[in-house]
Amino acid sequence: MKRLNFIAVLLAVITLASCNDTAEKKDTTMTNNSINKADMNLSVNPGYNFFEYANGGWMKNNPVPSDKTQYGSFTVLYDNNQKKLKSLVDDLINGNEKKNDDAKKIAAIFKTGMDTVSIDKMGFTPLNAELSKINNINTKEQFMNVVAKMHTHYTPALFSIQASQDDKNSSMVILHMYQGGLGLPDRDYYISNDERSVKLRADYVKLIKTLFTLTGNDEETASKKAKDILAFETSLAKNSLTRLELRDPFTTYNKMTIDDLQKISPSINWKEYFTNIGLKDLNDFNVGTTNFFKELSPLLDKTDIETLKTYLSWNVILDGSSYLSSDFEKASFEFYGKSLSGQQEMRPRWERVLEITNKALGEAVGKLYVEKYFPQEAKERMLKLVENLRTAFAGRINNINWMSDITKQKALNKLNGITVKVAYPDKWKDYSKLEINENLSYYENISNAKKFAFNENIAKVGKPYDKLEWGMTPQTVNAYYSPNANEIVFPAAILQAPFFDMDADDAVNYGAIGVVIGHEMTHGFDDQGKNYDIDGNLNSWWTEEDSIKFSERAQVVVNQFNNYVELDSLHVNGKLTLGENIADLGGLNISWDAYQMTEEAKANVSIEDFTPAQRFYLSYSTVWRQTILNEELMRRLKEDVHSPGDARVNVPLFNLATFYEAFNITEKDKLYRPESERAYIW
């Protein structure tokens, strides 16, 4: 489990397992972002299902490819970007570009990753050293020493640790400890008895058995191990908070000392653990999930050492399965691709290796990417757009009728205090101490990269927060708001059509990237972000009355999404997705206001039969168009804090008089809501 608020609030979750190559797919959407009638379904009334009206033609022509689980604007752009990155790496390998140290490392990890002959020949032997260390464990103390060692390579086991800003003193970085140690992606999958969870558990057991068999165990031993692992992880799951509970920043802030932790979790020698991960002089830290660590102690006491060893071996094998021989990769895909998300085929190898390269050397790749592909003038234009959005948001705050002047003033201060980062960092990461070269195996290169990333992260503990740091690479098609840094960040890769198009009319840009900017700004004022002040500290700046009014208004959004049917009896989880839905609604309102200030909006001239207002909303829908497999949809409804694409379009529009006006929507239409049922927050 990663810490949710430190990772910041993303625009969308793109499951990499589901984003892949479509070389042969004709890509009409990316060449120009003007509204294309062929992509729409003009036979549908926009007031009945706007998502279908705006995207029906495109969806009909773009079923989910067999090596993906969903397909949409993000995936199309992601695919295009992958091709650019591949050509960049190919040039490095073929010697078409002069190679500095970073470039040599990029070429080396990619090359060793593509060398499947060597990888297959090695089988699982790269794991031998780690597995034999686990085999030699005789005591629980030794067990914890190995856990610590695994953590220093970011290999999951029992719980997770991460250095990031202190929620109550955001200028400093501290260590955060969270629940973790699960192979299934949600704690509920271990506990729920619905059909899907039961099947996922059975398939997970099958995966464990297969991977243990592949590492030399006979079938009976592998079966026993699988049973023990599921039982142990189920205990961890029962002690874990739900995703919804993890969204509460007050619940997950519990600063303590080693002595405090020792008292609530006595069976682990914490001083020794911290020393082993390189934090000998640790003073205090945050325990995000206290009950988990409290219950971990008796769980470790009552679990026999053999089961604990099996559990560690499992984590080493599972973690390595994506970098080992093809039989390991296939087994892992059968579960994480097919069972969980319905994906039929694996992505091409080059994409998977490129993804690892991006993870290992993200900013080194990003630097080359920006030099080669990013037009500087896009940055200027973007910075200007952001300021237009900020002005529009300030105007809305001033006009809000439900908030007191005193809270309004603080909201305006926070808005003005938002830092903006566009395209790429001013200071690049230094990879000179990371050892990656062609003489090492792929596994060794990855292992070095993981150790390097861990050391880099943990070295920040106890130091001031570095404001120049980026939480996303420039080549990522996404954006984020960080509540602790009170900043919005837009990587270079999202500054392309259909999000941002230098040649398109303003309506199209404000409907797409404009709403994205507004979305990220609104995250500073959603149900989580509102708890952080201008400096990024968890510090309620609201009057009690205003806070209650906010919650009442947020509840309207919760209800609207709870009532939105996605698949048969499956609805969106209004509470889990609340922050994102508030951000979408705010983004639409703010960007609409910003657009009204442009000359183009004032001139009000139609293009290709659509008024500027219509183009604004059609452009917004283009961003979220999507085809998706049922399995992936079910997974996301359970795990993703973002609503599915159709809900992100149809539901916020319920609330917008300007949308009703643009498409002549009246009380006879399905999407129409009387004013008393509309949500109005920002």
- From residue 159 to residue 178, the character string flagging contacts with Zn ion as x (rule: CB under 5 A) and all else as - is --------------------
Identify the three-state secondary structure at position 567. Answer: strand
- Residue 517 vs residues 140, 203, 303, 363, 615: alpha-carbon distances, Å: 50, 41, 50, 23, 18
> Which region, judged by CB under 5 A, interacts with Zn ion, from 6-14, 70-78, 449-457, 671-679?
6-14
Whether 16 and 347 have beta carbons less than 8 Å apart is answered as no
Tokens of 116: 């499947």
The alpha carbon dihedral of 233, 239, 245, 246 has a sign of negative
Q: Edge-to-edge strand order for the sheet containing 419-423?
A: 9-10, 480-482, 487-491, 419-423
Measured from the CB of residue 407, what is the shortest distance to Zn ion in angstroms? 23
User: Going residue by residue from 532 to 571, which x/- string records binding to Zn ion, judged by CB under 5 A?
Assistant: ----------------------------------------
Min dist CB 10 to Zn ion, Å, is 6
Q: Which stretch binds Zn ion (CB under 5 A): 11-19, 79-87, 234-242, 439-447?
A: 11-19
What is the per-residue binding string for Zn ion in 445-464, x denoting contact by CB under 5 A? --------------------
Nearer to Zn ion, 321 or 560 (CB): 560
CA distance 170 to 532: 10
Instruction: Report which DSSP code applies to 493.
Output: G
Q: How far is the CB of 583 from Zn ion (least distance, A)?
A: 5
Is 12 or 312 the residue whose CB approaches Zn ion more closely? 12
Residue 9 near Zn ion by CB under 5 A: yes
Scan residues 565-604 and list those touching Zn ion (CB under 5 A).
580, 583
Which window, 7-15, 204-212, 408-416, 444-452, contacts Zn ion (CB under 5 A)?
7-15
Query: Which amino acid belongs to residue 268?
Result: I
489 binds Zn ion (CB under 5 A): no
Q: Which is nearer to Zn ion, 207 or 590 (CB)?
A: 590
Applying the rule CB under 5 A, the residues between 101 and 140 that interact with Zn ion are none
Contact mark string toward Zn ion, 201..240, x via CB under 5 A: ----------------------------------------
Q: How far apart are CA 154 and CA 162, in angstroms?
A: 10
290/18 Cα distance (integer angstroms): 34
- Looking at the Cβ atoms of 347 and 636, the one nearer to Zn ion is 636
Q: Is the N-terminal amide bond of 498 cis, ω within 30° of 0?
A: yes
Contacting range for Zn ion; rule: CB under 5 A; set: 8-16, 73-81, 364-372, 427-435: 8-16
362 or 518, CB closer to Zn ion?
Answer: 518
Q: Which of 195, 196, 176, 177 is nearest to 185 (CA)?
A: 196
Least distance between Zn ion and beta carbon 306 (Å) = 45
Taking the C-alpha atoms of residue 166 and residue 284, their distance in angstroms, rounded to an integer, is 11
Quickly tell me which residue has 């829908």 as its tokens.
621
Nearer to Zn ion, 319 or 640 (CB): 640
Q: Which is nearer to Zn ion, 265 or 655 (CB)?
A: 655
Q: List the one residue out of 478, 437, 351 whose CA is nearest residue 102.
A: 437
In the complex, least distance from residue 164 CB atom to Zn ion, rounded to whole angstroms = 18
Residue whose CB is less far from Zn ion, 166 or 580 = 580
Exposed/middle/buried for 652, CB within 10 Å: 0-12, 13-18, 19+?
buried
| DSSP states along 91-159 | HHHTT-S---HHHHHHHHHHHHHH-HHHHHHHTTGGGHHHHHHHHT--SHHHHHHHHHHHHTTT--BSE
**Binding-residue total with Zn ion (CB under 5 A):** 4
- Residue (11 or 211) nearer to Zn ion, CB: 11
Structure tokens at 199: 């099947």
- Using alpha carbons, select from 339, 358, 353 the residue that is nearest to residue 69: 339
Q: Given the complex with Zn ion, which of 524 and 612 has the nearer CB atom? A: 524
Min dist CB 510 to Zn ion, Å, is 18
Half-sphere CA count of 493, side-chain side, radius 13 A: 28
Closest CA to 158 of 255, 229, 210: 229
Residue closer to Zn ion (CB basis): 11 or 494: 11
Q: Give the range of 10-18, 62-70, 127-135, 597-605 binding Zn ion by CB under 5 A.
A: 10-18
Report the alpha-carbon distance of residue 414 to residue 485 in Å, rounded.
11
- Least distance to Zn ion, CB of residue 479, Å: 8
CB of 203 to Zn ion, least distance (A): 31
Contact indicator for 103, 368 with CB cutoff of 8 Å: yes
Site for Zn ion in 50-69 (CB under 5 A): none
* Residue 521 beta carbon to Zn ion: minimum distance, rounded to whole angstroms: 11
Binding site for Zn ion (CB under 5 A): 9, 11, 580, 583
